[in-house]
C-alpha cells in the first residue's frame, strides 16, 4: 500500500502507534447512534465499547474540543446540543440552539462551537467557556459545515431546494463573505489541514470535489465509489480518507496530487470517517451494519467493533486524558508555560541538547523536522511516533540527570537536568 509506506517502516522499527505515556489513557472514539439516541464510547487502545451515553433524539453532528475534555453532540430530533464531559463520559449540559440541528464544528482554539440549525435556517454559535449561544447567522437549510484551520471562516453546505450552495461566513463579523452556487445537493465538507482546499461531496456524484479556497473555484474531482459522503485527513495533510456508501468502501488518497491510492472494504453504508491522532488508523462508522471499522492504514487490516443502532458521526479525541488523580491532559498537550520547558526537534537534533528544569516541571518536545521522531527517556517507555508538527510532553518530579534519545534515530540524543 503506497500511502502508508512510511508508516509501515516505522512499525518495522518497533515504533508503537499507541505510544501511551505513563498515566495517559488512549484517545477515546465517540460514535453517535442515530436510532438509539446514544453515544458509544470506544477505547481506541482496547478496541471495545467502554461506555454508552444517553443523549437527545437523533444525534447528528459531533465535535471534540482541542483540549480533549468536551464532546459536543447536536440532536436532529430535538433542539439541543449535548455537552459531554470526556473524563466522566456524562452529559453535563444541554444547550438550546433551535429546531433540528445538523452538523457542528469546533474552532481550533475551542472558543466557539458552530452549529448548523437546519430547522431554523441559521447557524447558532456557542461560546466554548460559558456554553451558551452568543450569536446566530441566517443560512438557508444548513446541513454540515467545516471551519477553516485559521478559525476565521466557516463553510456551510446549504441545502435550500433549488438554491444549493456552499456559503462562507466570517466568524468575527458573522457576515456572509462568499456563496458558491451548486447544481447538486452538497452533503459533507472538510478543509485540508493547510486550509488551501475544501473537499466536499454532492448527492449523485461519485467524486470528491476539491475547491481552491483562494479563488473559490473547483480545481479537481477525485473519482471514488458511488455516493461518497465525507473526507478527513491526517494532521500533516499528507494523506486523506473518504467513505463511499454505495460500495461500502474507504478510499485513501493523496491531497498533494488528488489521486486515489487504496480502496479498503469496511462495514455497510459507511457514514463518517476520522483519522487517528497518530495517523496510523482510520475509524469508520457504518450506519447499515451497526458497527465501527478500525482500519490499520499500514496493512489494510480491519477490526470491527459493534456499537448502537445506525451509527452516523464519529470523532476521536486529539489525545487521551491523564488517568492520574489531579492530572490534566496526556503527554501530547504540554503543560502551562509557567511549569514547562520546550525542546525543538530540527535537522535530526534536539535544540537545546541539554535542558535544565526544576523538579515538577514538564518538558515538551516539538517535531519541527520533515521526518517522524519518537522520544525515549532512559527508564521510561518510548512516546508515540510524532509526525511533523506533533508534540510530546513528560513531567519530571525528582532531581537527576536524565538522558534521552529518539527511538527511531538512536544517534539523536539529549539530556534533561532536573534540580
- pLDDT by residue for the chain (419 residues), tens digit each? 544 444 443 443 333 333 344 455 789 999 999 999 999 999 999 999 999 999 999 999 999 999 999 999 999 999 999 999 999 999 999 999 999 999 999 999 999 999 999 999 999 999 999 999 999 999 999 999 999 999 999 999 999 999 999 999 999 999 999 999 999 999 999 999 999 999 999 999 999 999 999 999 999 999 999 999 999 999 888 899 999 999 999 999 999 999 999 999 999 999 999 999 988 999 999 999 999 999 999 889 999 999 999 999 999 999 877 544 333 333 333 333 334 678 999 888 999 999 988 888 888 898 988 788 999 998 888 888 888 888 888 888 888 999 999 998 888 899 999 98
Among 137, 246, 148, 266, smallest CA distance to 199 is for 148
Contact 3, 282 (CB under 8 A): no
Contact 97, 80 (CB under 8 A): yes
Give residue-wise pLDDT tens across range 367-379.
988 788 999 998 8
Burial of 332 (0-12, 13-18, 19+ CB in 10 A): buried
Three-state DSSP at 27 gives coil
Question: Facing residues of 197 across strands?
Answer: 212
What letter does residue 322 receive in the DSSP assignment?
B
Contact 250, 240 (CB under 8 A): no
Q: Which residues contact 341 (CB under 8 A, 6 or more apart)?
A: 355, 357, 361, 362, 363, 364
- All three cell numbers of 2, joined, read 503506497
Q: What is the pTM of this model?
A: 0.75
Residue bearing cell 461566513: 169
The C-alpha atoms of residue 216 and residue 163 are separated, in whole angstroms, by 18
Number of Cβ within a 10 Å radius of residue 149 = 16
The C-alpha atoms of residue 49 and residue 28 are separated, in whole angstroms, by 10
- All three cell numbers of 403, joined, read 538522558
- What pLDDT does residue 19 have? 39
The C-alpha atoms of residue 228 and residue 245 are separated, in whole angstroms, by 6
Please give the sequence-ordered ranges of beta strands (E in DSSP) within 107-170, or none if there are none: 112-117, 122-127, 133-138, 142-147, 153-158, 165-170
What domains, with CATH codes, occur in the chain? 28-316 (2.130.10.10)
- What pLDDT does residue 118 have? 97
CA 361 distance to own-chain centroid? 29
Residue bearing cell 489525545: 319
Backbone dihedral region for residue 280 (phi beyond 0: left; psi -120 to 50: alpha; all else: beta): alpha
Backbone dihedral region for residue 8 (phi beyond 0: left; psi -120 to 50: alpha; all else: beta): alpha
Measured in residues, the chain has a length of 419
Question: Facing residues of 112 across strands?
Answer: 127
Three-state DSSP at 346 gives strand
- What pLDDT does residue 24 have? 56
Amino acid at each position: 500500500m503506497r500511502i502508508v509506506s512510511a508508516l509501515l517502516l516505522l512499525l518495522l522499527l518497533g515504533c508503537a502507534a499507541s505510544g501511551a505515556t505513563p498515566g495517559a489513557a488512549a484517545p477515546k472514539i465517540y460514535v453517535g447512534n442515530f436510532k438509539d439516541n446514544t453515544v458509544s464510547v470506544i477505547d481506541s487502545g482496547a478496541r471495545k465499547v467502554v461506555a454508552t451515553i444517553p443523549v437527545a433524539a437523533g444525534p447528528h453532528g459531533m465535535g471534540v474540543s482541542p483540549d480533549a475534555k468536551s464532546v459536543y453532540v447536536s440532536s436532529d430530533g430535538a433542539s439541543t446540543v449535548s455537552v459531554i464531559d470526556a473524563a466522566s463520559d456524562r452529559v453535563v449540559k444541554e444547550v438550546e440552539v433551535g429546531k433540528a440541528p445538523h452538523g457542528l464544528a469546533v474552532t481550533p482554539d475551542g472558543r466557539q462551537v458552530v452549529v448548523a440549525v437546519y430547522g431554523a435556517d441559521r447557524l447558532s454559535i456557542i461560546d466554548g467557556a460559558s456554553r451558551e449561544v452568543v450569536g446566530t447567522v441566517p443560512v438557508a437549510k444548513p446541513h454540515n459545515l467545516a471551519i477553516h484551520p485559521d478559525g476565521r471562516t466557516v463553510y456551510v453546505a446549504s441545502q435550500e431546494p433549488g438554491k444549493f450552495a456552499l456559503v462562507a461566513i466570517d466568524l468575527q463579523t458573522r457576515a456572509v463573505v462568499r456563496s458558491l452556487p451548486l447544481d447538486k445537493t452538497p452533503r459533507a465538507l472538510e478543509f485540508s489541514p493547510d486550509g488551501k482546499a475544501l473537499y466536499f461531496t454532492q448527492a449523485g456524484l461519485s467524486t470528491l470535489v476539491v475547491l481552491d479556497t483562494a479563488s473559490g473555484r473547483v480545481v479537481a474531482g477525485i473519482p471514488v465509489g458511488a455516493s461518497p459522503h465525507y473526507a478527513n485527513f491526517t494532521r500533516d495533510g499528507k494523506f486523506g480518507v473518504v467513505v463511499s456508501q454505495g460500495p461500502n468502501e474507504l478510499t485513501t488518497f493523496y491531497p498533494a496530487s488528488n489521486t486515489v491510492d487504496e480502496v479498503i472494504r469496511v462495514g455497510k453504508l459507511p457514514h463518517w470517517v476520522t483519522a487517528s491522532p497518530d495517523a496510523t488508523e482510520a475509524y469508520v462508522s457504518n450506519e447499515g451494519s451497526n458497527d465501527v471499522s478500525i482500519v490499520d492504514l499500514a496493512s489494510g487490516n480491519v477490526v470491527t467493533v459493534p456499537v448502537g443502532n445506525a451509527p452516523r458521526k464519529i470523532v476521536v479525541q486529539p489525545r487521551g486524558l491523564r488517568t492520574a488523580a489531579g492530572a490534566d491532559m496526556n503527554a501530547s498537550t504540554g503543560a502551562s508555560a509557567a511549569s514547562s520547558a520546550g525542546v525543538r526537534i530540527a535537522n535530526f537534533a534536539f535544540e537545546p541538547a541539554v535542558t535544565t528544569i526544576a523538579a515538577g516541571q514538564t518538558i515538551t518536545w516539538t517535531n519541527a523536522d520533515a521526518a517522524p521522531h519518537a522520544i525515549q527517556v532512559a527508564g521510561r517507555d518510548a512516546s508515540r511516533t510524532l509526525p511533523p508538527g506533533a508534540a510530546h510532553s513528560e513531567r519530571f518530579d525528582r532531581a537527576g540527570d536524565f538522558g534521552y534519545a529518539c527511538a527511531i534515530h538512536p544517534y539523536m540524543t539529549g539530556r534533561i537536568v532536573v534540580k
